[in-house]
Homo-oligomer: A and B are copies of this chain.
Amino acid sequence: MATVSTAKSLIYTHYSVYSSSKTSLGHHQEQIVFFASGKKSKSGKANTNPWLITCSAGDQQTVVIGLAADSGCGKSTFMRRLTSVFGGAAKPPRGGNPDSNTLISDTTTVICLDDYHSLDRTGRKQKGVTALDPRANDFDLMYEQVKALKNGIAVEKPIYNHVTGLLDPPELIKPPKILVIEGLHPMYDSRVRDLLDFSIYLDISDEVKFAWKIQRDMAERGHSLESIKASIEARKPDFDAYIDPQKQYADAVMEVLPTRLIPNDNEGKILRVRLIMKEGIENFNPVYLFDEGSTISWIPCGRKLTCSYPGIRLSCSPQTYFGHEVTVLEMDGQFDKLDELIYVESHLSNISTKYYGEITQQILMHSDFPGSNNGTGLFQTILGLKIRHLYHQIIATTQLSPTQSAKT
């Protein structure tokens, strides 16, 4: 019997998972019982709590994706592009807490790891720790629940209310086809990390982060430039200590940097975006430009394609990143016209599209999403396609496995 509870769960300690027998990863045929109670349960079997849920998880594999990034770094846009690739729209759970951070589509459930805060806003203030600090987060519960979901077991996940800064009553999360855990620490805890089938780190450079925060917090929320600077500065030590080191574990890192097309550009409007893709990851083949494994720089704007100033530059090269062999695809500049996007798409290889122009179509479908005209939109869409491919590969493998083992 597996019971989910944790010493660090200071407020909610009652989210549990019960399984009638030990499950083997990927094949769950047992009767599963879920419950949640106000107090820690020691005997799930006899539980009569009205929250008790039973269901058969069936023969389904949940593919788990980790997405690490600081807040305000475009994770939600990314998630909307990802779910769109699977053909659905991501929505908050129906009839649940309106402040839920979860997004659910037909295939994908995105949970925000802020929900595993063990300290609420007041608690953090009292203890003098930021949300970035591992001590403000319950990794034991995170691990147990992600493991449960991966194994096809529904969980009652806490909700951190970003509006009130409080921990709200939990919500039921059923095992989806694809579970995305997004937030500050998806690769921090090695146990959680080991559950990930694929991991992504969004690495926004300080210059761009600052420009984006100004855009959002100053223009939209009326904060002062000084307070934005102070808030970034205050977060920096913990960010560097606990968030940033996770990128070494990521299968793909998306770096967002200022353009190099305009010398000494300070505006931060035109972006240089790098997609760092690890080699040798199962079911994941890095995208490349023209010739795999060589170093290429390409300015598509020329005789056949004309672009407005400062144009577009793509490059691709094999590099090493924290000791790993990686392929780095980079796009500097932005698209002005559809022509440019489809032209670039048509010259990329290993993009895992199902038909010619699928990336362009996806981006056009959501042209109002931030970054649709630059490398962030392009690479988010590409990562969505790569995840779709990875998902289908994993599913195909697990469906094959029983037959294969019968044969051998």
Name A residues whose Cβ lies closer than 8 Å to a Cβ of B: 290-305, 317-318, 325, 347
Find chain B residues with CB under 8 A from A304 CB.
291-294
Find chain B residues with CB under 8 A from A291 CB.
290, 298, 300, 304, 347
Q: Which of B290, B294, B297 contacts A305 (CB 8 A)?
A: B294
Nearest B-chain residue to A291, judged by Cβ: B347
Give CA–CA (A303, B317) in the complex, Å.
9
- Whether A290 contacts B290 by the Cβ 8 Å rule is yes
Q: Which of B292, B303, B325 contacts A294 (CB 8 A)?
A: B303
Nearest B-chain residue to A312, judged by Cβ: B294
Given contacts A294-B300, A294-B302, 12 further A-B contacts (CB under 8 A): A290-B347, A291-B300, A291-B347, A293-B302, A294-B299, A294-B303, A294-B305, A295-B297, A295-B298, A295-B299, A295-B302, A296-B296
* A293 CB to nearest chain B CB (Å): 3
Q: Which of B293, B296, B302 contacts A303 (CB 8 A)?
A: B293
* A33 CB to nearest chain B CB (Å): 51
Give CA–CA (A325, B302) in the complex, Å.
11
Nearest B-chain residue to A347, judged by Cβ: B291
Nearest B-chain residue to A290, judged by Cβ: B290
* A298 CB to nearest chain B CB (Å): 5
The A contact surface, by secondary structure, is loop
Give CA–CA (A211, B199) in the complex, Å.
54
Top 10 nearest A-B pairs (CB, nearest first) are A293-B303, A295-B299, A297-B297, A293-B304, A294-B302, A290-B290, A293-B302, A303-B318, A302-B318, A294-B300
Find chain B residues with CB under 8 A from A295 CB.
297-299, 301-302
How many of these chains are in the complex? 2
Nearest B-chain residue to A279, judged by Cβ: B303
* A336 CB to nearest chain B CB (Å): 16
Find chain B residues with CB under 8 A from A302 CB.
293-295, 317-318
Find chain B residues with CB under 8 A from A303 CB.
292-294, 318, 325
- Whether B294 contacts A298 by the Cβ 8 Å rule is yes
Give CA–CA (A298, B290) in the complex, Å.
9
Nearest B-chain residue to A305, judged by Cβ: B294
Find chain B residues with CB under 8 A from A297 CB.
295-298
* A4 CB to nearest chain B CB (Å): 44
Find chain B residues with CB under 8 A from A299 CB.
294-296, 317
Nearest B-chain residue to A289, judged by Cβ: B290
Nearest B-chain residue to A304, judged by Cβ: B293
* A126 CB to nearest chain B CB (Å): 53
Give CA–CA (A318, B305) in the complex, Å.
12
Find chain B residues with CB under 8 A from A325 CB.
303
Give CA–CA (A289, B273) in the complex, Å.
24
Find chain B residues with CB under 8 A from A300 CB.
291, 294
Give CA–CA (A296, B314) in the complex, Å.
9
Find chain B residues with CB under 8 A from A318 CB.
302-303
* A263 CB to nearest chain B CB (Å): 18
Give CA–CA (A325, B297) in the complex, Å.
22
A-B contact pairs, 30 of them (CB 8 A): A290-B290, A290-B291, A290-B296, A290-B298, A290-B347, A291-B298, A291-B300, A291-B304, A292-B303, A293-B303, A293-B304, A294-B298, A294-B300, A294-B301, A294-B302, A294-B303, A294-B304, A294-B305, A295-B297, A295-B299, A295-B301, A295-B302, A296-B298, A296-B299, A297-B298, A299-B317, A302-B317, A302-B318, A303-B318, A303-B325
